[in-house]
Structure 1
Amino acid sequence: MRRRAFLQASTVLGVAFVSGCALPVIPQRPTARYEDALGWIRHSEGRYELLLPRVEMGQNIGTALKQIACEELGIEWHQLTLCLPHTGEMARVRATVGSESVKDFALPLAQACATLRDALAAGHMQGERMAEPRPAGELRAFRRDARHVGCCAPLEQGHAIVTGEPLYAADVRLPGMMFGRVLRAPVSAELVSTPGWVNEAAARQVPGFVALVRDARLRQGLSDGLGIVARTPGTLDLIEAALDVRWSTEGSFDQADIDRAMDVDRHLAGDGCRYRVHDDAIDAPGPWDVDLRIDIPLAAHAPIQPRAAVAAFDADGGLDLWVGSQDVYYQRDVVRKRLGLDEDRVRVHGTRVGGAFGGKTICTVELEAAVLAEAVRHPVKLQWTRAQEFRQGFHRPPSSHRIRVRLREGRLDQWWHAFASSHILFTNAGLPVWMQRLTDFVTDAGVARGAQLPYRCPTRRAEFALSRLPVFTGPWRGLGAGPNGLAMESAIDECARHAGLDPVAFRLQHIGDARLAGVLKAAVAQAGSWRARPAGTRQGRGVACGTYKQVSHAAVVAEVEVDEQGRTTVTRLVCAHDCGTVINPDQVRAQCEGNLVWGLGMALSDRLHAAGARIAAGSFAEAPIPSLHQIPRLEVVLVDEGGAPGGAGETAIVATAAAIANAVREATGVRIQRFPIDPLVLALPSRT
C-alpha cells in the first residue's frame, strides 16, 4: 500500500474509532485552470472587469495580473477595472500562499483573455465563450516586446492606501455594528483551559455592555473561549476587567521544554530522524572536516495589522463575512460547517490584508465574529489585540540543525544534515493530536522545504525529526526554507574556509544549476570589490545563495560592522534574483527588499520566548522587528533570461540571514551557532 493510500485509510479508521473526535475542515487546493479563468474576466459595453483570483496582501498581485490582462486583451490601462469578489461570485481558487500567484495564475488568465479578445473580434458581445486554450508561446503577454508586461505600472489601490480609504477588514463599518472579543486563559491553546467563576453582575454594569456569550464553538485548540460584545471597542477592556475571570488550566511548560524537544543531538542519540530529504548511506564513524550545530528559535509573523473580521446576518439568515485572510474559501467552509449553514448562505468578502506571511491561513477571528453576531443578531466586528496576535496565532517553529561534512581534495565528499523541528503544513493550530499523528506517515513537506542541497556532492544525507510542541507552529514566510538555508549556507561557508578557498569560488565549483550560478555571479558583480578593512575595525562581507521550490533563485551579499560591545550593524545588502519572466520589476524588487528585511530580522532580532505556559511576548517591545534605522542600503539586481514566471514572494529568504552570519564570521572569526545573534558572543574583552 502506498503512503497516500495508507493515510487515507488511516484517516477513515481514525474517524471511526477515536471517540469524540471531529474531523476538521481540510483546506482545498484546486489547480488554477483555464476553464476557471474564463470567469475571472468580463466585458460589457466597452469596459472590462477583472475579478482578482488572489488575495491582495501587500505583494500587489492585482497590479501584475492586470498588466497581463491588459496586454493580452490589447487595451489601455484605464479600460480595465480590478474587483475583489466575494466567494459567491467566482469558482473556488486555492489559498494565496507559496509565491504561486504569478507562477500558476498568469498563464490561465492570459489564455482566458485571449479567448475573450477573439470572441469580441468575431462580434460575440454576449454570453460566455469557450475555446481551446492557447499555448504560452502564442500569447501576447509573454512576448519580449510586450507593452504592459515587464515594465512598471500604476499601483492598484495605491492612491487608496496612502489616502486612508477603507480597504481592510478593520475598516468595515455597518449600521448597528457592535464590537466583540473572545477571552481565553493566559496559557497556550495546546493546554486544556476553561473559564470558571466570572463576575457577570459587574460586567453588566459597565456602560455599553451588550452580551456575555458562552458557546462551545468558541473553542480554539483546547482553549474554551468566553465571548463578550459591547457597543464601542473601548468598552471591551472595561468589561474584561470587570469580569475578572478565574480560569481553570491543566499542565504547564517553559522554554526549556521546547528546547529539549528540539535538541537535534538528543534525537540523534535516541530514535534518530525519521524523515528523509536525501537518503544516501553515510560512513558516520571517523572525523569530520566540518561539524556544526545551528539553533534557530520560534519567530512571529508580526504583521502590522492584527487580524480582524466583521460578521453580519441578513433578514433571511444569510451570513456576510469581511475577512483579511489568505484563503477566503476555507473561511467559508469552516464557518458554514460550524454554524450549520448551506454553502450559498455564507458570502465571504476578501479585503486587502495588512501583512500575512503565511500566518493568516486558518480560521480564528472569522469564526469568533460569526458566533458572536449570531448570538446578538447584530453585525459584529472582532479584532485581535497585539498580545493576542503573539499568543494565539501560530509561529515559525524552532529548529535545531547538526551538519557534518567531509571534504576530499578541497571538494564536498560527504554531506550529512540532520535537524529537528515542529509541524508547518500540518499545523497543530488546525489539527488535533490524533489527526496529526496520522499525517506523520507522509512527513511534512513544509519542514523539508529548502533542505535539498543545491551543490554537487557524491554522498548526501538529509533527515529530520518532528515533535509536536505545546505552542502553535505553522507556515512562516518560506516555510522551512529560511531556517534550512541559514544552517546549510553557514556550513558551506565553513567548508570553503576549511578548503582554503574563497567562499564564492567554492560555491561556483559545486553549483550544478546555471541559473543559481548566474545569480551568485550577478550579486558579487553588483557588490564590487571589497575594500581593505581599516586596522582595529571589525568589518566583514558574507555571501549565500539558494533555490526556492526548484523554480526561483537568489544570492545575497551582506556587509557588516561589529563594535566592541558585539553589536552588529548590517551596512549593505545586495540581492540578485531570478524568477523567470518578470511581470513587474518594481514589485519583484519590493518583494526582494521585504525578504532582505525578514532575513535581517532572522539574524538579529527574531525570537519568541515561552514562559508561564505561553508565549511571553505581548508587544513589539518584547518581540521587536527591524526598525527603519536598522535597514541598510538595499540593492536588488533582477536576472531575467526569460522562461516561465516563477515565484518572487519568498525566494530571497533562503540566503539573507546566512549572508549576514557569514559576514559576521568574516568580521570577527566567530561562527554564530545560535540565533538571533547575541552581542555578548561577539563582545571584545574589556581593556580596563
Structure 2
Amino acid sequence: MSAALTRRGVLASLTVALFSGCALPVIPKRPAPSLDDALGWIRHDGDGRYTLWLPRVEMGQGILTGLKQIACVELGVGWDAVVVKLPCTNDIGRVKATVGSDSIKDFALPLAQGCALLREAVARGSFASPGDPPPALRWPTADRPDLKRPPLAQGEAIVTGQPLFVADVRRPGLVFGRVLYAPLSPEFASLPRAFDEAAARAQPGFVALVRDERFVQGQARGLGIVAATPGALDRIEQALAVQWQKEAPASGWRELLDIDARLADGDRLTHAVHDDDVPRHGTWDLDLRFDIPPAAHAAMEPRAAVAEFDNAGKLQVWVGSQDVFYQRDVVAKRLGLDDDQITVHGHRVGGAFGGKTICTVELEAAVLAKSVRRPVKVQWTRAQEFAQSFHRAPSSHRVRVRLKDGRLQHWWHGFVSSHILFTNAAMPPWMQAASRFVGDAGVARGARLPYRAAARETRFALQRLPLLAGPWRGLGAGPNHFVTESVIDECARRVGQDPLTFRLAHVEDARLARVLARVAQMADWGRPLTGERVGRGLACGIYKDMSYAAVVADVAVAADGSARVLRLWCAHDCGRVISASQVRAQCEGNLVWCVGMVLVEQLDLAAGQVAASGFADSPIPRWGDVPAMHIELVDEGDAPTGAGETAIVAGGAAIANALRAATGVRLTSLPWRAALATMPR
C-alpha cells in the first residue's frame, strides 16, 4: 500500500470514529496498476491488429502517444496496427486518477509486460501456462527507427478540428444546462432568496427551472436552469435576476496565513518536514519572508459534461476529467445508483493541471438530465471557472539561515498554507480538521531541502481559507522550491560565492548535481552578460524524490520596471525517456507556467469572491512572453519517473534569481511588479 493510501486510510478511520454522525464525501480510490490489470487494457483483434484501452487520461501531456509507442514496440507491430481508445468505465478495470506525473513511472512496465505476453500468445496460439517464465521485454532497449519519433497521437484530429473533447459531444435531443450560485466563495453560506421565474420562462429557448438539494458547493446552494441553446442560458440567467441570501465574509486569506502572526503567538507549527532542533537564540545571517498568492489553473478548456438517461434508468456521462472512475463513484452515490447503472466515457482534456480531479459539472449534468429526462450538456463559462473552481493554495513563509565558513549551518523554514490534497473544494471543515492529525503531503511537497547543513528544521501548519484551494500543477512543489531556491541564491550572495559553486558544495544527491552541471554547461554559466539591467539566475530541484531539473534564466528589465525573460535553459532527468518529443513538450509547458507564476499571474479576491471573470483580470503568459527555450534530457538508464510537472521546481526561482541579479531586488511576493525595479538596492 502506498504512503498516500495509508494516509487516506488513517484519515478515514479517524473521521468515522470521531464524526460518525457526519456524512463522508466520496474518497478517491487509487489502486496501483498490475500485470493483471494491463492484460485488460490490450486486445488482439485479429489480422495483426490490436486495440489499446488507454488506462490514463490524455490531457495534452502526450501519454496516448507514449503508451501506444510502448505497445507497438512490445507487440512488434507498426504504428497503424494499434488503435487506442480513451478510458470508459465499462471497458477496463478501475485505475487511479491521472495525477502526479505517474503515468510512465507506474503504467509503462505493466503495459509492456502485458503486450509481451500477448505477443507470445498470438505467436503460439495460446497463453502460457502459469509458472512459465515471462517473455523478454523490448521497450527498455527499443531502437526501431519508425517508433523513435512516432507521430503525435490525435495530432491530425486536433489541427483539423475533429471532435475530441467533451464539449464536442452531441446527443439526439440535447439541451443545455447551468447551475447558478451566489457570487461568493462556497466557503460562505448562500442560497437563492428570490428570483423572477415568470420572466425566465418567457425567454425564447427556456426549457426548465430546476430546484434540487444536490446543487451544493460547500455551503452554497444553487439553482439549475435548462435551455434549448447555449445562448439562451445567458438570457434566462439575466431574466431570473436572482437575489441571494449571503453570509458576510469575516476575514481574508492573507490574515489567516500570516506566518509572522503565527510565530508571534508562539505557534511552533504542527507538521515537520525536517525535524532537527535548530537553535532559536542568536542572530541570523538571513531572515526572509515570502508570500505566495492564489493562482488559477487557467486551462484553455472550461470544464464540461454531458449526461443522458435511457428508458431503463441507466445513465451515461461523457466527461473531461482526470478520473473517470471517481466521477462514477460520486454520481452513483449522489443519485442512489449502482455502479453498473452508470457508464462514464472519458474524453481528451484541454488542460487540467490538477484542477479537474473532483466532481462538479458531471453531477450538475446528471441531476439536470434526470429532472428534464433529456440529455443535458453543462459547460462552465470562463467566469464560473474562476469563481467556482479551486485554485493554487496560497502560503506564507519565513526562512532563517545561519552561515559559517561559507557553508550552511542552520536552516529554519516555517510556513502556513491552505490544504491541497485535502482540498476544501471536496472536504467539509470537520473532515479537514481531522486531517491535521496526518498533515498534507501536497503542502509538504518540495519543502525538503536538498542541501547539507549542520541542522535543518522545516515545519508547516494548515489553515482552512475562505477560498477554494487544492492541487495546482506540482502541488506545493512550485511554491516551496521557489522559496528555498531563492534563499539559497541569497546565501551564495551573502558569502560571496558563485550560485552554482555554492549549490554544488552543498548538494546531497548525485543526480541533482548532474543536472546542475549539465545546465551550467548548456548555458555557458559564468559568461558575462552584456547590456543594462540584464541578469542571469540559476535554480534546481527534485520533484517527488524521483525526477530532477535545473534551469538557467536570462532576464531583462526595462526602464519602466517591466521584466521579460529572454532565454531559459533546462536540464531534465526523469530517468528512461520513452518519447523524447513529449517530454520536451512537458518541460516547455512547465517553463511557461514558471514565467507566468513569477511575472504575471495573480488572482485577486474582494468581499469573499474571486474578482476575475476572464484572462483580462487574471492574466496568463502570451506568445510574446514566451522566451527561447533550450532543453536537454538527461537519460543515464535509470528507471522512468515523472516528467509532467518536474521543471516547475526550478524555473520560477531561476527567473526570480535572474531578476535579483538584474535589479538587486529580491522578489518575495509574487508576481513581479514594475515598481519593485525602482526600489533602493
TM-score band w.r.t. shorter chain:
over 0.9
Segment of structure 1 superposing worse, 539-548 or 599-608: 599-608
1:403-414 mapped onto 2 (5 Å cutoff): 403-414=399-410
3-state SS of 1:78 partner: helix
Kept in 2: contact 1:69–1:110 (CA 8 A): yes
CA displacement at 1:522 relative to structure 2: 1.0
- Give the Cα–Cα distance (whole angstroms) in 2 for the partners of residues 132 and 70 of structure 1: 26
Instruction: Give the TM-score of the pair, scaled to structure 2.
Output: 0.96
Pairing 1:232–2:236 present: no
- Name which of 481, 488, 503 aligns with 2:484: 488
CA RMSD of aligned residues (A): 1.7
Report the CA distance shift for 1:50/1:624 in structure 2 as closer, same or farther (over 3 A). same
Pairing 1:214–2:211 present: yes
CA displacement at 1:84 relative to structure 2: 1.2
Pairing 1:369–2:365 present: yes
1:157-556 mapped onto 2 (5 Å cutoff): 157-253=154-250, 257-270=252-265, 271-529=267-525, 531-534=527-530, 537-556=532-551
3-state SS of 2:565 partner: strand
Q: State the partner residue of 2:151.
A: 154
Segment of structure 1 superposing worse, 77-86 or 618-627: 77-86
Give 4+ residue runs of structure 1 displaced > 3 Å after superposition: 2-9, 128-136, 144-149, 529-535
Q: State the partner residue of 1:26.
A: 27
Q: State the partner residue of 2:3.
A: none
3-state SS of 2:214 partner: helix
- Give the Cα–Cα distance (whole angstroms) in 1 for the partners of residues 312 and 587 of structure 2: 47
Kept in 2: contact 1:544–1:557 (CA 8 A): yes
Q: State the partner residue of 1:114.
A: 116
- Give the Cα–Cα distance (whole angstroms) in 2 for the partners of residues 7 and 84 of structure 1: 32
Kept in 2: contact 1:14–1:435 (CA 8 A): no
Pairing 1:675–2:670 present: yes
Kept in 2: contact 1:565–1:684 (CA 8 A): no
CA displacement at 1:226 relative to structure 2: 0.2
Kept in 2: contact 1:115–1:131 (CA 8 A): no
Kept in 2: contact 1:253–1:612 (CA 8 A): no
CA displacement at 1:532 relative to structure 2: 3.6
Report the CA distance shift for 1:411/1:530 in structure 2 as closer, same or farther (over 3 A). closer
3-state SS of 1:442 partner: coil
**2:217 counterpart letter in structure 1:** Q
Pairing 1:619–2:621 present: no
Provide Cα deviations, 1:120-166, integer angstroms capped at 9, x if missing partner: 12122xxx777569789x411112645566x3211110000000000
Pairing 1:140–2:138 present: yes
Instruction: Give the TM-score of the pair, scaled to structure 1.
Output: 0.96
3-state SS of 1:181 partner: strand
Provide Cα deviations, 1:489-514, integer angstroms capped at 9, x if missing partner: 00000111111110001101111211
Pairing 1:42–2:39 present: no
Kept in 2: contact 1:298–1:395 (CA 8 A): yes
Report the CA distance shift for 1:3/1:661 in structure 2 as closer, same or farther (over 3 A). closer
Provide Cα deviations, 1:630-655, integer angstroms capped at 9, x if missing partner: 11101101111012111000000001
- Name which of 75, 79, 82 aligns with 1:77: 79
Report the CA distance shift for 1:354/1:130 in structure 2 as closer, same or farther (over 3 A). farther
Report the CA distance shift for 1:651/1:529 in structure 2 as closer, same or farther (over 3 A). closer
3-state SS of 1:496 partner: helix
**1:630 counterpart letter in structure 2:** D
Provide Cα deviations, 1:30-59, integer angstroms capped at 9, x if missing partner: 001111000000002121110000000000
Report the CA distance shift for 1:34/1:5 in structure 2 as closer, same or farther (over 3 A). closer
CA displacement at 1:15 relative to structure 2: 3.9
**1:488 counterpart letter in structure 2:** T
Provide Cα deviations, 1:436-492, integer angstroms capped at 9, x if missing partner: 111111000000001111111221111001100011100000000000000000000
3-state SS of 2:125 partner: coil
- Give the Cα–Cα distance (whole angstroms) in 2 for the partners of residues 477 and 571 of structure 1: 23
Report the CA distance shift for 1:3/1:240 in structure 2 as closer, same or farther (over 3 A). closer
Identical positions, percent: 60
3-state SS of 1:371 partner: helix
**1:583 counterpart letter in structure 2:** I
Kept in 2: contact 1:187–1:613 (CA 8 A): yes
- Give the Cα–Cα distance (whole angstroms) in 2 for the partners of residues 430 and 3 of structure 1: 17
**1:45 counterpart letter in structure 2:** G
**1:219 counterpart letter in structure 2:** V
CA displacement at 1:85 relative to structure 2: 3.2
**1:142 counterpart letter in structure 2:** P
- Give the Cα–Cα distance (whole angstroms) in 1 for the partners of residues 79 and 129 of structure 2: 25
CA displacement at 1:83 relative to structure 2: 0.9
Kept in 2: contact 1:609–1:616 (CA 8 A): yes
1:590-629 mapped onto 2 (5 Å cutoff): 590-629=585-624
Pairing 1:563–2:563 present: no
Segment of structure 1 superposing worse, 443-452 or 404-413: 404-413
- Give the Cα–Cα distance (whole angstroms) in 2 for the partners of residues 437 and 207 of structure 1: 48
Provide Cα deviations, 1:600-638, integer angstroms capped at 9, x if missing partner: 111011211110211111110000000000111011011
- Name which of 3, 12, 27 aligns with 2:16: 12
